[in-house]
Structure formats: structure tokens, C-alpha cells
């Protein structure tokens, strides 16, 4: 038989404030933290499934000739995220080097 541990915090020491709500968020297929590639697969019954590696995320009504364009769109959107992150890092590095060059330099003024 299982025995459960009792609550060791006395009731008067527990907080009367409600717990902070958890933020619910649906992750995006374009989120670069996901490993694997998103892709659209034909199901041969007039539907296709959007997959992330081997995990089916959604099922949609589609025609077979739409699949290449859907896959191309997913690839372009995902690469856009990668390029945007790269260019943002590049801009940040340039701004740092610009601020280093424009830092005030003490010049001796000859009068």
C-alpha cells in the first residue's frame, strides 16, 4: 500500500495569495528551437498532414499538386527566421564597433 507524505508547512504559514497563472502558449512550427524540419505529407485521401519530423501537428484539406508549394513556403519562412537572426547579430556587432570608434578621445588643444 502507498503512503503519502503529509504537508509539512503549517496552515498559518501558507500564503493566502493565489498562485500566479501559467502562461499558455502554442509553439510555432517556425520556432528555431525545434529540431527537425517542418514538412507537408500527402495522406492519399484528399488530406495532407503538417509534420515536424515524424510528429503530426495538423491535418489539412489539400490537393496533391499543392504539396510542393506548401513545403517550399515552410522552408522559406524558416530560413527567413534564420536570416533575420543572423542580420540582427550582424547589426549589433556593427553598432558596437561604431560606438567603440566614436568614443570620445582626449585631444590636446594647442592655443
48-102 tens-digit pLDDT: 998 888 888 889 898 888 899 989 988 888 888 788 888 889 999 988 888 877 6
Global pTM reads: 0.52
Q: What's the CA dihedral at 43, 26, 84, 48 to 10 degrees?
A: 10
Q: Residues 98, 90: contact at Cβ < 8 Å?
A: no
Indicate the domain borders of the chain.
34-92
- Of residues 34 and 7, more confidence is placed in 34
Buried residues in 14-50 as b, exposed as e (16+ CB within 10 A):
eeeeeeeeeeeeeeebeeeeeeeebbbeeeeeeebbb
Amino acid at each position: 500500500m502507498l503512503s503519502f507524505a503529509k504537508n509539512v508547512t503549517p496552515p498559518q504559514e501558507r500564503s493566502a495569495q493565489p498562485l500566479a497563472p501559467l502562461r499558455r502558449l502554442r509553439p510555432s512550427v517556425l520556432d528555431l528551437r525545434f529540431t527537425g524540419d517542418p514538412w507537408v505529407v500527402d495522406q492519399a485521401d484528399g488530406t495532407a498532414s503538417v509534420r515536424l519530423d515524424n510528429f503530426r501537428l495538423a491535418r489539412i484539406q489539400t490537393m496533391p499538386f499543392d504539396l510542393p508549394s506548401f513545403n517550399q513556403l515552410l522552408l522559406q519562412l524558416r530560413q527567413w527566421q534564420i536570416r533575420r537572426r543572423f542580420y540582427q547579430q550582424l547589426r549589433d556587432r556593427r553598432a558596437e564597433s561604431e560606438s567603440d570608434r566614436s568614443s570620445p578621445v582626449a585631444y590636446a588643444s594647442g592655443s
